[in-house]
Amino acid sequence: MRAVLAGLVAMFAAWPAWAGIDAWTSLPSPGGGNATLINVIAASPANASTRYAATQAGIYVSRDGGQSWSRSNTGITPSPAGYYSVTDLAVAGSRLYITPSFLQKSIDGGASWQRTGWVSENPFALVLAADPKNPDVVYAGANAGVYKSSDGAATWQYLSGTLTVSAITVDPGNPQVVFRAVSSGIFRSTDAGKTWSQVSTQLTSVKTIVVDPKNSMNVYAGTNGAGVYKSSDGGNTWQAINRCMPQGRCAPLTMDAVWVKSIIVDPGNPAIVYLGATEGLYRSTDGGANWTEANNGPLGVNAMMLDPVNRDTVIGAWGGQLHSYTFGAPSDFDRIFNWAEAAYPQFFAPAGAQTQVVSGYNARYYAGTKVYLGEQGGQVVVYGDVFGGLLFVGTTADLLPLAAAAGY
């Protein structure tokens, strides 16, 4: 075993990750999918069976895991023209915030709605972000800067800016950090919105910003027409990560012209990142270094979420239709490897190494720590100088419950 693992030094070139089912499945859609444009889909963090859809016809709620949908506009104030279109939705426990419609909220999981302290048509609220640790704190990006409420949207305070805010997000790991995007670039606050500094003048067409829930240094920005960018230092610097591999699965090979509408970082394994774009669904298993186009057909994605019951399934909206795309579940040893990366980053870094199969062994090599993690016949081992060579750490039967308990 020692010789085989040592031999991996020369053989850790990319190896295919687990295979996906590679097919879209049509799902019941809000409004029956009859031209009801879906802008946002989300799940309740407290109840996996409860789903929300923000559409051009208002809010739809499913209480049975998406098998059926009911429109839930009770209490929503329509626009002066009589429309119920909802362009953004922020979920904070059982509390929901929606915009525009004078920026309204629900305190009963979407069953009914009420006006908030935001009663003006100018400034006009466009995008929302709720503090994941305090549902009373919500930020609104408007057509004239950014605003904040600390009392459940009863009152609002102007924070900064005069330009239209196209995207806003709160760092789930550190809610003091907030990002907003405008036409002149990206701004960041490290004190919950009190002060702001510009961290990018390059990214001027940002549609969405997402922070890695387990590593605040990793921040992704999806753009209108320029693909996706990533910061690995908390937003200080940004690089395009538009490499689309393998050849033949993406046309063109780079995604420089892709319009990215939504981004998901897998909370259980942040090395897995999904992009929903007008050109389709993309997936990375190495933190955005490479992407594969997951589509089997021309379906685009303008909004998406991970299925809260099966994290290998992406639920995507294109126009007024919902579809699911299920990737093949990882093997038991891959689940253990993914868990080990998150639980012991001092040994297995950088996370997201691909599993290789050599002479019957399944193994990952971690260039940052020069360590191997391997499995054969249900025996899990590690190899590296830090372990004094080869070390048996347990069986898959022993370790799988630990991985499952952590969500892998």
Q: Is pLDDT above 90 for 237?
A: yes
230 and 112 share a domain?
yes
Q: What is the pLDDT of residue 147?
A: 96
At CA 258, angle to CA 269 and CA 240, rounded to 5? 60
Q: Is pLDDT above 80 for 247?
A: no
Distances (CA, A) of 96 to 25, 103, 132, 314, 339: 28, 10, 12, 22, 32
* Structure confidence by residue, pLDDT tens digits, 334-376: 889 888 988 899 999 887 676 776 566 788 888 889 999 999 8
Q: What is the pLDDT of residue 13?
A: 30
Token readout for 22 is 């590679």
233 and 349 share a domain?
no
Q: What is the pLDDT of residue 349?
A: 86
Q: Is pLDDT above 50 for 166?
A: yes
233 and 366 share a domain?
no
Q: What is the pLDDT of residue 149?
A: 96
Task: Please name the residues in contact with 201: beta carbons below 8 A apart, sequence gap of 6 or more.
Answer: 184, 185
8 and 31 share a domain?
no
Q: Which residue range(s) make up the domain with 36?
A: 22-327
8 and 91 share a domain?
no
Residue whose tokens read 């929302």: 128
The total number of structural domains in the chain stands at 2
Q: What is the pLDDT of residue 128?
A: 97
Q: Please, which pLDDT band fits residue 222 given cuts at 50, 70 and 90?
A: very high
Q: What is the pLDDT of residue 120?
A: 75
218 and 160 share a domain?
yes
CATH number, position 30: 2.130.10.10
- What's the residue count for the chain? 408
Residue whose tokens read 């298993």: 285
263 and 379 share a domain?
no
Q: Is pLDDT above 60 for 95?
A: yes
Q: Please, which pLDDT band fits residue 268 given cuts at 50, 70 and 90?
A: confident
Pick from 327, 350, 385: which residue ends a domain? 327
343 and 279 share a domain?
no
CB atoms within 10 A of CB 194: 12
122 CB-contact burial (10 Å; exposed 0-12 / middle 13-18 / buried 19+): exposed
DSSP code, position 191 = S
Q: Which long-range contacts (C-beta less than 8 Å, at least 24 apart) are formed by 310-318? A: 311/266, 311/268, 311/407, 314/264, 314/274, 314/281, 315/27, 315/41, 315/66, 316/24, 316/276, 316/281, 317/38, 317/41, 317/53
Average pLDDT rounded to a whole number, residues 269-282: 89
Q: What is the pLDDT of residue 14?
A: 28
209 and 352 share a domain?
no
Amino acid letter for position 376? Q
* pLDDT: which is higher, 35 or 229: 229
101 and 174 share a domain?
yes
Pick from 327, 352, 386: which residue ends a domain? 327
Q: Which long-range contacts (C-beta less than 8 Å, at least 24 apart) are formed by 362-368? A: 362/331, 362/333, 362/334, 363/5, 363/8, 364/337, 365/8, 365/9, 365/12, 367/12
Average pLDDT rounded to a whole number, residues 130-156: 94
Predicted TM-score (pTM) of the model is 0.76
User: 58-67, 201-210, 238-247 — which is least confidently predicted?
Assistant: 238-247
* Structure confidence by residue, pLDDT tens digits, 10-60: 333 322 222 235 578 888 999 876 658 899 999 998 888 899 999 999 999
User: In 345-383, which positions are buried (b, 16+ CB within 10 angstroms) versus exposed (e)?
Assistant: bebbeebbbbbbeeeebbbbbbeebebbbbbbeeebbbb
385 and 303 share a domain?
no
* Structure confidence by residue, pLDDT tens digits, 300-312: 898 999 988 777 7
